[in-house]
């Protein structure tokens, strides 16, 4: 098989721990299916601030730009929390998404049957939940003008939420296309009763919807959506929303699956290139203790194999192995009901590798 280049940026906290397990899984697909991957590791986030003086060194960006896909762990931690914006790990994350043109972030939340007891919600509410959040990733309040100024009432801080028609249209079209390949239901989430950017968002959705008459569309205000996600999660299929709403709603959706440690993501642009990362962060509270659930990152590798490389057999193999290991009752502590029987990060990775076929 053709050699595919993967940039690996493990980052901070539990990032290196979960990425190490994901790399083992990637290696196993080479043995099982004959695929060939060349990985190149690069510094990113807090560790890059410490070693290079910037969260996103130019050479790291180049490693990513020269690769076919990027596997990312997580960044951030208390050590860098009082740094100015340009010396924050999170700024590097926004920078890499923007520089690589990754405007579309797909975050599937699927409830594994055997994990219904791991969630804080009632099993009968979770039954059949299988949704995907399509989050706009390079616009909105994350990227609008931000500044501080002195006013007669003291210092003021400003963040601007801005969207162009084009930025909305490209993500909305992607969401409609994803819905067409699923259960053909799209919920567009906004705050059009208050925000001008949301009113533009809704106008674009309504216009674009005419091209996808087979998709059933609902507009849901974000506050109501946050509530409905807990009330009737299984009724959602595809949720499309702006950057910050998508950030918040996807962490909420994670709890449907039992843990944020289960949620994978794909960040895509116009072509097949993609960046794949778990939805969770660097989890400083459990870092370095072999406690992190590696499944979110392992499932992100499956997304990479499927979406960037078209290696459906390898992606299926990973997803089936994860389901089988969970079915057999193996749990990291975040998804364990009986915490005393929980296994560690490395054991979970090893079990998944051993189960792949
Ligand atoms: P977090 O997602 O890191 O952790 C939230 C909670 O979930 C913690 O209790 C943590 O222990 C738990 N958790 C997260 N991932 C887990 C896993 N794989 N297995 C088991 N438990 C897991 O969010 P936070 O605490 O708000 O943020 C910590 C740092 O991570 C901050 O610096 C934040 O900016 C950063 N962050 C980075 C990313 C990213 O790199 N994509 C995403 C979110 C947060
Ligand atoms: C995520 C994270 C990031 C975001 C932060 C760390 C910048 O929370 O990937 O969900 O808000 O996009
Ligand atoms: Mn987030």
Dist. CA 166–CA 204, nearest whole Å: 9
* Domain covering 1-103+265-357 in this structure, CATH number: 3.40.718.10
Identical fold for domains 1-103+265-357 and 119-257, yes or no, is yes
Q: Is there a catalytic annotation at residue 313?
A: no
Give residue 280 CA to ligand 2 midpoint distance, Å: 8
Residue among 16, 91, 96, 260 to mutate when testing ligand 1 (max atoms within 8 A of CB) = 260
pLDDT tops 90 at residue 1: no
Q: Where exactly are the structural domains of the chain?
A: 1-103+265-357, 119-257
Q: What is the mean pLDDT of residues 290-298?
A: 98
Indicate if ligand 1 lies below 6 Å from the C-beta of 17.
Answer: no
Predicted confidence at residue 134, as pLDDT, reads 99
In the block, residue with structure tokens 């804080």: 120
Residue range 37-94, pLDDT digits in tens: 999 999 999 999 999 999 999 999 999 999 999 999 999 999 999 999 999 999 999 9
Q: Domain 119-257 in CATH: superfamily?
A: Isopropylmalate Dehydrogenase (3.40.718.10)
Q: Which ligand is nearest to the CA of 81?
A: 1
The helix/strand/coil state of 311 is coil
Proportion of the chain above pLDDT 70, given as a percent: 100
Predicted confidence at residue 345, as pLDDT, reads 99
- How many secondary structure helices (H) and strands (E) does the chain include? 12, 12
Q: What is the mean pLDDT of residues 187-200?
A: 99
* DSSP secondary structure, 244-303, as one string: HHHHHHHHHHHHHHT-GGG-EEEEE-SSS-EEEEESS---TTTTTTT-S--HHHHHHHHH
Residue range 116-162, pLDDT digits in tens: 989 999 999 999 999 999 999 999 999 999 999 999 999 999 999 99
pLDDT tops 90 at residue 216: yes
Give residue 31 CA to ligand 3 midpoint distance, Å: 34
> What is the ipTM score, two decimals?
0.99
Predicted confidence at residue 337, as pLDDT, reads 92
Distant-in-sequence, close-in-space partners of 25: CB < 8 Å, separation ≥ 6: 298, 301, 318, 349, 352, 353, 356
Indicate if ligand 1 lies below 6 Å from the C-beta of 250.
Answer: no
H or E segment at 202? helix 196-209
pLDDT tops 90 at residue 259: yes
Q: Is there a catalytic annotation at residue 4?
A: no
Residue positions in the annotated binding site?
77-90, 97, 107, 135, 223, 247, 251, 281-293
Predicted confidence at residue 207, as pLDDT, reads 98
Please tell me the residue having the least CA distance from ligand 2 atom 5: 90
Q: Is there a catalytic annotation at residue 142?
A: yes
Give residue 357 CA to ligand 2 midpoint distance, Å: 34
């Amino acid at each position: 098989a053709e050699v595919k280049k993967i940039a690996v940026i493990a980052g901070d906290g539990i990032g290196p721990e979960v990425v190490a397990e994901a790399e083992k899984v990637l290696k196993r697909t080479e043995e099982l299916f004959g695929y060939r991957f060349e990985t190149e590791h690069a510094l990113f986030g807090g560790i890059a601030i410490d070693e290079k003086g910037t969260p996103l060194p130019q050479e790291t960006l180049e490693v990513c730009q020269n690769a076919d896909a990027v596997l990312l762990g997580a960044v951030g931690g208390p050590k860098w929390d009082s740094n100015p914006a340009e010396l924050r790990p999170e700024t590097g994350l926004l920078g890499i998404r923007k520089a690589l043109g990754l405007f579309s972030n797909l975050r599937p939340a699927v409830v594994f049957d055997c994990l219904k007891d791991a969630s804080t919600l009632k099993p009968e509410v979770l039954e059949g939940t299988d949704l995907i959040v399509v989050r706009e990733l390079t616009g909105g309040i994350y990227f609008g003008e931000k500044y501080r100024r002195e006013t007669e009432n003291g210092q003021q801080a400003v963040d601007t939420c801005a969207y162009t028609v084009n930025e909305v249209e490209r993500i909305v079209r992607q969401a409609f296309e994803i819905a067409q390949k699923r259960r053909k239901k799209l919920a567009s989430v906004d705050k059009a009763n208050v925000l001008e950017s949301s009113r533009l968002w809704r106008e674009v959705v309504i216009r674009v919807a005419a091209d996808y008459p087979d998709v059933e569309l609902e507009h849901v205000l974000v506050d109501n959506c946050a509530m409905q996600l807990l009330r009737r999660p299984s009724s959602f299929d595809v949720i499309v929303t702006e950057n910050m709403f998508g950030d918040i709603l996807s962490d909420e959706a994670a709890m449907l699956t039992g843990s944020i440690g289960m949620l994978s993501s794909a960040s895509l642009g116009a072509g097949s290139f993609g960046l794949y990362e778990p939805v969770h962060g660097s989890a400083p509270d459990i870092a370095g203790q072999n406690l992190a659930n590696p499944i979110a990152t392992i499932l992100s590798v499956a997304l990479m194999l499927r979406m960037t490389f078209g290696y459906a057999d390898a992606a299926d193999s990973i997803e089936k192995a994860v389901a089988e290991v969970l079915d057999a009752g193996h749990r990291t502590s975040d998804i364990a009901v009986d915490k005393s029987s929980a296994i560690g990060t490395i054991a979970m990775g090893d079990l998944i590798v051993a189960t792949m076929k």
